[in-house]
Structure 1
Amino acid sequence: MALLEVTALTGLSVIAGTAVVALLCIGPRQLSRAMTDVDDRLRDIAPYLGAALALLAVKQITQGYRIRLSRALDWNITDELYALEGEFVATLQGLTPEATLEFFTVSYMVGFAFLLVAAPVTYLLSAGSGQRRLKELLVAYMLNYAVGTVCYTLFVSYGPRNYLETVSGLMYSVYPQTQDLTAAVASNTNVFPSLHTSLSVAVLTVAWRSRRTHPRWTPVAAVVAAAVVFSTMYLGIHWLVDVVAGVALGVGSVSAAVRIVSRVEASQSTPTRGGGDPAGQIGGDD
């Protein structure tokens, strides 16, 4: 029952937040125009969306097998993670006011899901380069999950809350019902790297690339992503090393996604004299 309630609350919050962002960042007039050709937009990104959903399905279906394989390999790197940073997370918890617990719990549970949903919806309903940014984002999602799945299978690593007596699992202690949802999608050894961090940073990186065409979305993505990244450590779920690796994965996945989408788009279009695809440049938006 707790799982259903948390899932429903999270889902409703994400839907409401996405709707508000669409109105603020795109505007009613552009939204109205987008709805007239939404079928064409969906057909355009269908291969990317289908591949992303298929990867998520495979990841979820094979979760039990991968956990068993990971434990059989027993490559536990938790000691190494602690040796690299020591009591950083414990110090961070001690310095952060307890009054922020609810905010960072919402950031971790709802803010993360909001970023993953609001970003593609915003680009789908946008004019101009929105479709291009959506494709880059979907490829970045796939790269993040692919790398994360490999790392979670190879490495057994426990977060600070499960390793250090000086670190409290704040969210799970105060809001134990949240653990039902997180346990349904991930194991407590899925620590290195932090996919909450990498995916949030990927969304922010694409948002930065689209800052000229989506000036209102970029600061929203920046604030929510920063809160999500901080929450992973403050709540005792991830080490600083996990977060650093997640930042590198997030930025790297977008860089790779830009190149992949450029090549796919170039192969599908009629070659032009001089070649090249200016939209594939990594620096920014048009």
Structure 2
Amino acid sequence: MYSNIVSLMCREDDEETTMALLRVTALTGLSVAVGTAVTALLCVGPRQLSRATNDLGGRAREVAPYLAAALGLLAVKQLTQGYRIRLSRALDWRITGELYAIEGEFVAALQRATPDATLEPFSVAYMLGFAVLLVAGPTVYFLAGAGGRRHLKELLVAYMLNYAVGTLCYTLFIGYGPRKYLDSVDGLMYQFYPETQELTAAVASNTNVFPSLHASLSVAVAAVAWRSRRRFPRWAGISGTLAAAVVYSTMFLGIHWATDVVVGAVLGAGSATVGARIVTRVERRSTDGDPEPLDGPSADRKPKAGDD
């Protein structure tokens, strides 16, 4: 009798967890879709969006090799997850103590210095702003002209480099964030928005700390946006603001050490630079000539009245 009651309670808990995960996932997906659509409208303009609908097939074929490579890498990462977890446990290289030795109570001091009123905005930045960054960047470049697709290729390569390095580090090193290691640091987002923990647990392990891929990918997007700022000034401003909020939120929410964030930022900036060089070489080989200018053949043309 007792075992039946316990079994029933476990099933109810599992159902509640599943429903909470579905609710958070649906809300996140809807928010990202709306945020991406609004960003594309602001940064590309209705006229360019209208033109893009007439050439979706050609644009997709041009970036297909890069997109296929990125999706292939993610598939390999997912398929090898169990093996990587076993390898990581076998190596047992624990670095949390070393991370604490480097910076001590920095994250705790940061939490105390940050007003409580910013908890909700930074939680939104961490959960939704980050996702919008990752999706809106490729979308803006895909819907823009030829120069935009060049930046899209750079961004996809940068994504691959970030995930490759991050996956390697997460396999080699076992680390826990400050909220797990220090009593002086609170897991603020999970205390006030516990339902978000189901989603983060579903996509990442709590030992995926060094480096911070939230920081590295956000900085990579902002770095590519900065390279394209002449053509997409609004996107450069939006991505820079969101990236800064995401980077700060990872520490303020107690999820990452400052060391994770600094190394992640270096990885993000480096991946954007290397990604641009890789695309230049690939484009040069495919055309047997000079690569296309970063902002397209008409980058230096002064916009006419009425241009978006």
TM over 0.5: yes
What do you get for the CA RMSD once the two structures are aligned?
1.4
Distance 1:278 1:129, change over 3 A: closer
Name which of 277, 283, 302 aligns with 1:259: 277
> 1:58 is matched with which residue?
76
Residue in 1 that maps onto 2:209: 191
Contact 1:52 1:141 in 2 (8 A): yes
TM-fit CA distance, 1:68: 2.0
2:133 to 97, 115, 122: 115
How far is 1:65 from its partner?
2.2
| Structure 2 residue ranges without an equivalent (≥5) | 1-18, 301-308
* Mapping of residues 86-97 of structure 1, within 5 Å: 86-97=104-115
Does 197-206 or 181-190 show the bigger shift?
181-190
- 1:127-276 → structure 2 map (5 Å cutoff): 127-271=145-289, 276=290
**How much has 1:23 moved relative to structure 2?**
0.8
Mapped partners of 1:195, 1:279: distance in 2: 30
Structure 2 counterpart of 1:41, which letter?
R
Give the conservation status (yes or no) of the 8 Å contact 2:147–2:292.
Answer: no
Give the AA of the match of 2:232. H
CA distance in 1, matches of 2:121, 2:264: 22
SS in 2 for 1:139: helix
TM-score normalised per structure 2: 0.88
Mapped pair 1:22 → 2:40: yes
Partner of residue 95 from structure 2, selected from 46, 52, 77: 77
Q: 2:82 & 2:191 partners in 1: Cα distance? A: 26
TM-superposition CA deviations, 1:158-211 (whole Å, max 9, x none): 000000000001111111111111111111000000000000000000000000
* 2:285 alignment partner AA: S
Give the TM-score of the pair, scaled to structure 1: 0.95
Cα distance in 2 between the residues matched to 1:189 and 1:135: 30
Aligned partner of residue 29 in structure 1, secondary structure = helix
For 1:129, what is the secondary structure of its paired residue?
helix
Q: Distance in 1 between the 2:189 and 2:151 partners?
A: 34
* Mapped partners of 1:227, 1:60: distance in 2: 28
Note closer, same or farther for the CA distance 1:204–1:128 as it changes in structure 2 (3 Å cut). Answer: same
SS across alignment from 1:36: coil
Identical residues among aligned pairs (%):
68
Give CA-to-partner distance per residue, 1:44-68, whole Å, 9 cap, x none. 0000001111111221222222122
Match of 2:85 among 60, 64, 67: 67
* Structure 2 counterpart of 1:4, one-letter code: L
Tell me if the contact between 1:60 and 1:185 (Cα under 8 Å) persists in the aligned partners: no
- Once the two structures are superposed, residues 113-168 of structure 1 have per-residue CA deviations (whole angstroms, 9 ceiling, x without a partner) of 00000000000000141010000000000000000000000000100000000000
Task: Tell me the equivalent position of 2:118.
Answer: 100
| Count, aligned residues | 279
SS of corresponding position for 1:191? coil
Judge which range, 168-177 or 39-48, deviates more: 168-177
1:216-241, Cα deviation, whole Å (9 max, x unpaired): 11110011111100000000000000
Distance change (3 Å), C-alpha of 1:215 and 1:244? same
Which whole-Å CA distance do the structure 2 matches of 1:225 and 1:189 have between them?
Answer: 23
Letter in 1 for 2:239: A
